[in-house]
Chains A and B, each alone.
Chain A
Amino acid sequence: MATFVTAYLVVGLVLVLYVGRMGVRQRRLQQTLDLLQERMRQADEACQSPAKAA
């Protein structure tokens, strides 16, 4: 039984590590996206303001 339990634990551990790594990557991507969107919004506003004033 020890062999089976060891095999299952190894598989489980590998899956947990892989899914955890994906979660971290996903969070970083989301942060980059939010930051980029914010910068783009600011750039758009800066671009439209002089045009309105003119």
Chain B
Amino acid sequence: MTTTATQERSHHILWTVLVGIFLTAAMLAICSAPTEQSMGDAQRVMYVHIAVAWLSLLGFVAMAVCGIGYLLSRNLGWDQWSLAIGEVGWLCSSLTLVTGSLWAHSAWGTWWTWDPRLVTSFILWALYSGNLILRSGLGDAHRRAKLSAVLAIIGVVDVPLVVMATRWFRGIHPVSPEMEPSMRYALLASIAGFTAVMTLLVVRRRTQLHLESRLNELQMLAKERAGSVVSAATPLTSAITLKKGY
């Protein structure tokens, strides 16, 4: 089987897994979980909202850990993990705001209000966005990794603020409501499903970033060799140790 065919196959498997997990979580939320008395079906948004909100918080903590890892080792591999997590975390943070807004419109009659939980969640989204914008504006890989690591480590302070906002400050966002066991199972299944999907995306994106980085190194090597072809001691093809496809 050729590399491209293997790659296409792995891509199809990924798609199947993603769709399968996604649909299972949706079916559990619709069929298995009972309808909430006061809010009705709008409450079912919670199964998506809590899952993506949890991942956005977890993602920022993971990004800070990668930042510490980079600052201690100066290994750019940590930065590749940080970028992969940052992209997927940004998606989760954006989806938290969108799904929360949809729920708020049904429950509160407004798309947005300056509730402490909403404000701290918005700050988290701004931190994710700032990190990605910062990266796109810097050319030097180590400088980019260093600044991104510092921003992630400073920004992680917002995570406990988001978690504790409903307890520390007075607001209208619900505080961990009591749930029936079937609702809890549906929520846990949704969280597990989304965590699996996002982890898969992060791992795949990190592998892609690693491949990009190795390709850049090879291109540099090829340029250097082009300047001194006669003195080449070892064949250039032996420098290619990239594992094609994954």
Tell me the A residues contacting B by CB distance below 8 Å: 1, 3-4, 6-8, 10-12, 14-15, 18-19, 22-23, 25-26, 29-30, 32-33, 36-37, 39-41, 43-44, 46-48
CB distance from A34 to the nearest CB of B (A): 8
Query: Are A36 and B218 also in contact (CB < 8 A) when A3-B105, A41-B237 are?
Result: yes
Quick one: closest B residue to A2, CB to CB?
A: B41
1/0 contact string of B34-67 vs chain A (CB within 8 Å): 0000000110110011001000000000000000
B interface residues, Cβ below 8 angstroms from A? 3-4, 7, 11, 14-15, 18, 22, 26, 29-30, 41-42, 44-45, 48-49, 52, 87-88, 91, 94-95, 98-99, 102-103, 105-106, 197, 201, 204-205, 208, 211-212, 215, 218-219, 222, 225-226, 229-230, 232, 235-237, 239-240, 242, 244-245
- A11, B232: Cβ atoms closer than 8 Å: no
A47 — which chain B residues lie within 8 A by C-beta? 229-230, 232, 235
B239 to chain A: which residues have CB within 8 Å? Answer: 40
One of A18, A37, A41 near B201 (C-beta < 8 A): A18
B240 CB to closest chain A CB (Å) equals 6
A30 with B45: CB separation less than 8 A: no
> A10-B98, A32-B215, A36-B215 are known contacts. Are A43 and B230 too (CB-CB below 8 A)?
no
**Majority SS of interface residues in chain A?**
helix
* Closest chain B CB from A20 CB (angstroms): 10
Q: CB distance B211 to A18 under 8 Å?
A: no
Chain A: minimal CB distance from B136 (Å):
15
A15–B42 alpha-carbon span in the complex (Å): 22
Across-interface contacts of A22 in B (CB, < 8 A): 201, 204-205, 208
* CA–CA, A31 and B126, complex, Å: 35
* 14 sample A-B contacts, Cβ–Cβ < 8 Å, listed by A number: A4-B48, A7-B45, A7-B49, A10-B98, A11-B52, A22-B208, A23-B11, A30-B244, A36-B215, A40-B237, A40-B240, A41-B237, A44-B237, A48-B235
Q: Which residue of A lies closest to B3 (CB)?
A: A30
A10 CA / B92 CA spacing, docked (Å) = 12
B193 to chain A, nearest CB (A): 11
| Minimum CB–CB distance for A26 against chain B, Å | 6
Bound form: Cα–Cα A41–B41 in Å: 62
Going nearest first, the 8 A-B pairs with the smallest beta carbon separation are A4-B44, A40-B236, A1-B41, A44-B235, A7-B99, A3-B42, A7-B45, A3-B106
Q: Chain B contacts of A32 at CB under 8 A?
A: 215
Q: Which residues of B contact A11 (CB under 8 A)?
A: 48, 52, 95, 99
B75 → chain A closest CB, angstroms: 22
